Structure 1
Amino acid sequence: MSAFLKKVVRNRALLIMILPGTIWFLVFAYLPMFGTVLAFKDFRISRDGFFASVMNSEWVGFKNFEYLFSTNDAYIITRNTILYNLAFILLGLVISVTFAILLSELVNKKMAKVYQTGMFLPHFLSWVIISYFAFTFLSMDKGVLNQIITFFGGEKISWYSESKYWPFILIFVGIWKGVGYNSVIYLASITGIDKSYYEAAVIDGATKWKQIRYITIPLLKPLMIILTILAIGGIFRSDFGLFYQLPKDSGALYPVTNVIDTFVYRGLMNMGDVGMSTAAGLYQSLVGLVLILIANYIVRKLERDHAIF
């Protein structure tokens, strides 16, 4: 038996554990990469089947990319996508680390688990459900917020027609949904910190704030950098449900809710332009790869041990 087969047999339990994840990546991440050829073709479906349609479609070069960036909305969707993701990355990092530290410092661990579960719950809710929760607050007629406003003598606000409020609503709801999941990651890292560091700090007279500042945060720094680099790689991608379901696809809100993902979806549904949507996905992936490489290069120059590769 070869050395390779011996390693496979010896590690068969671990290999079986990672098999479902491997199959998922092959089916949903790697096999679809062959479809990127559609970004350079004028795809037309035919009766001969999908693969025959791909082969028989006309090559158009970079015309699909030109259409994506020649529209009047190109600047708006790019601006919205980048700015929202920057807000999610920066605010999400600060808030997630803060909540993780607060949970780790709670003396009553049973209550800490209750709080942790409550924070983690929104992560499992779909955007459709959350959009209806939001509607109960923002409805023009019976919304909770409008009832509070009118109770204090104010005038009702048509939330789904006033675009100026939605940058704050989207950022708040997006962070609310993801902060629990992210804080659990940082909390797990805090739990793994050697307690002798804190014991030595207490002997030296360090306050709780100094323990957090000089022990917890520095030891969390590598994880914070890695997760930030990975998040930067997705800065040209948006949470489709957040920007499509939450605003109820209101046309009046497009200037502040339209991002690359929703723009591509609407283009695909209205015009059936598969080539343009594939070009947008390929563009997002390539830009994400470049941004990860750049961010990792900068980190490697500053803190070599904290870089991903």
Structure 2
Amino acid sequence: MRTERNRVKLNRRWKKTSIMTFVIPGALWFLMFSYIPMFGVLMAFKNYRYRPGKGFVYSLLTSSNAGLANFRFLFRSPDILNIIRNTFLYNVVFIVLGATLPVCLAIMLTRLYSRILAKTAQTVMFLPHFLSWTVVSYFLFAFLSTDKGLINRIITQNGGEPVLWYQREIFWPFILVLVHTWKIVGYQTVIYLAAIHGIDASLYESARVDGATPFKQTMYITVPLLKPVVGMLLLLNTAHILNSDFGLFYQVTRNSGQILSVTQTLDVYVYKALTESAIYGYSTAVGFFQNIFGCLFLVIANGIIKKISPESALF
């Protein structure tokens, strides 16, 4: 009896050891590239000066304290409220579209009877994800260029006046949302497609036997079972609500100074400040500010989702 118990304990211990063996590489990766670099947040509170031959850590520790001076740089800007507003509102729109449009596209793709057509549409939507923002900016410029752009050529050939796209800020909120959605919607659709294919096919078969239409199958089977995936991606995106895609807002807009009131975000603002002053504590302070508020929004969003759909909450 005692021998049998010992054997069971050894088996359990061996299983735990095996699992831990697989966990260790991932834990080491997070330790090296996620937790140890957090030490660099000290730069936000330092007047960092690199000392040749001494290395980063020595230079950071021996630099003079700056207190909250690096944060004052951010909040003393006369445009800071407009910059934060741009960053926040664009991300809200991106999050809402990212939680609705890819889901609809994924459901429609699964309802296509032709597998060849479905695979072709999926590939066409997914390809823009692999393009850099620099390439996308040139594509867009080919359409919006004042003198040689395709759209202005069509307008002038029909007797109209060319539109100064890169000087008119009214167009850019719509252009940026359209370009961002075009680039990322295919990737997100693939995620939801994988989740839909993971749903037990017997549920749909039972629904068809009971006379459920394709629409009812979608509303009462697909959508409810997609809630955990949608909630997870929603929370992960909410954590970056004060971060922005630098390539989208800097490259695609071609850094036009005449449309900055609707295109400048925190990341673009910090980049311009760094190119002018090269004070690295500024960028660290802004990154720290973005992460703190991102964490706060994540906790709030998780609390809201937990009340609506507890199984979709992150924690």
TM-score in terms of structure 2 length: 0.90
Moved more, 77-86 or 138-147: 138-147
Q: Which residue of structure 2 lines up, in the alignment, with residue 195 of structure 1?
A: 201
1:85 aligns with 2:81: no
User: How many Å separate the matches in 2 of 1:27 and 1:240?
Assistant: 25
Residues 303 and 43 of structure 1, relative CA distance in 2, 3 Å threshold: same
Within a 5 Å distance, the mapping from 1:139-218 to structure 2 comes to 139-218=145-224
User: How many Å separate the matches in 2 of 1:95 and 1:249?
Assistant: 29
User: How many Å separate the matches in 2 of 1:5 and 1:204?
Assistant: 48
Q: 2:49 aligns with which of 40, 44, 51?
A: 44
CA RMSD, Structure 1 to Structure 2 (Å): 2.1
Q: 1:25-77 CA distances to partner (integer Å, 9 max, x unpaired)?
A: 44543332111001001112233443332122111211211211111121111
Moved more, 298-307 or 74-83: 298-307
TM-score in terms of structure 1 length: 0.92
Instruction: Structure 1 unaligned segments of length 5 or more: list them.
Output: none
Instruction: Structure 2 unaligned segments of length 5 or more: list them.
Output: 1-9
> Match of 1:278, as an amino acid?
T
Q: 2:36 aligns with which of 11, 18, 31?
A: 31
User: How many Å separate the matches in 1 of 2:116 and 2:286?
Assistant: 47
1:137 aligns with 2:143: yes
Question: Could you say what secondary structure the match of 2:290 adopts?
Answer: helix
Q: Which residue of structure 1 lines up, in the alignment, with residue 280 of structure 2?
A: 274
> Match of 2:185, as an amino acid?
V
User: How many Å separate the matches in 2 of 1:194 and 1:32?
Assistant: 42
Q: 1:8-29 CA distances to partner (integer Å, 9 max, x unpaired)?
A: 87359855xx94x666544543
Q: 1:188-245 CA distances to partner (integer Å, 9 max, x unpaired)?
A: 1111111222222222222221211111111111211111111111101111110011
State the aligned residue count.
Answer: 305
Q: Percent identity?
A: 48
Question: Could you say what secondary structure the match of 2:165 adopts?
Answer: coil
Larger radius of gyration: 2
User: How many Å separate the matches in 2 of 1:4 and 1:57?
Assistant: 52
Residues 294 and 247 of structure 1, relative CA distance in 2, 3 Å threshold: same
Question: Could you say what secondary structure the match of 1:160 adopts?
Answer: helix
> Match of 2:211, as an amino acid?
G
> Match of 2:303, as an amino acid?
Y
Moved more, 201-210 or 284-293: 201-210
User: How many Å separate the matches in 2 of 1:266 and 1:169?
Assistant: 23
Residues 13 and 114 of structure 1, relative CA distance in 2, 3 Å threshold: farther
Q: Which residue of structure 2 lines up, in the alignment, with residue 261 of structure 1?
A: 267
User: How many Å separate the matches in 1 of 2:151 and 2:74?
Assistant: 38
Q: Which residue of structure 2 lines up, in the alignment, with residue 295 of structure 1?
A: 301
Deviation at 1:121? 0.8
User: How many Å separate the matches in 1 of 2:28 and 2:178?
Assistant: 35
Q: 1:123-142 CA distances to partner (integer Å, 9 max, x unpaired)?
A: 11111111111111111111
Q: 1:10 aligns with which of 3, 18, 33?
A: 18
User: How many Å separate the matches in 1 of 2:228 and 2:104?
Assistant: 16
Q: 1:259-295 CA distances to partner (integer Å, 9 max, x unpaired)?
A: 0011111111111121111000011111111111111
Deviation at 1:5? 9.0
User: How many Å separate the matches in 2 of 1:186 and 1:152?
Assistant: 43
> Match of 1:54, as an amino acid?
L
1:124 aligns with 2:130: yes
Q: Which residue of structure 2 lines up, in the alignment, with residue 249 of structure 1?
A: 255
Question: Could you say what secondary structure the match of 2:190 adopts?
Answer: helix
User: How many Å separate the matches in 2 of 1:289 and 1:171?
Assistant: 24
Deviation at 1:301? 2.8
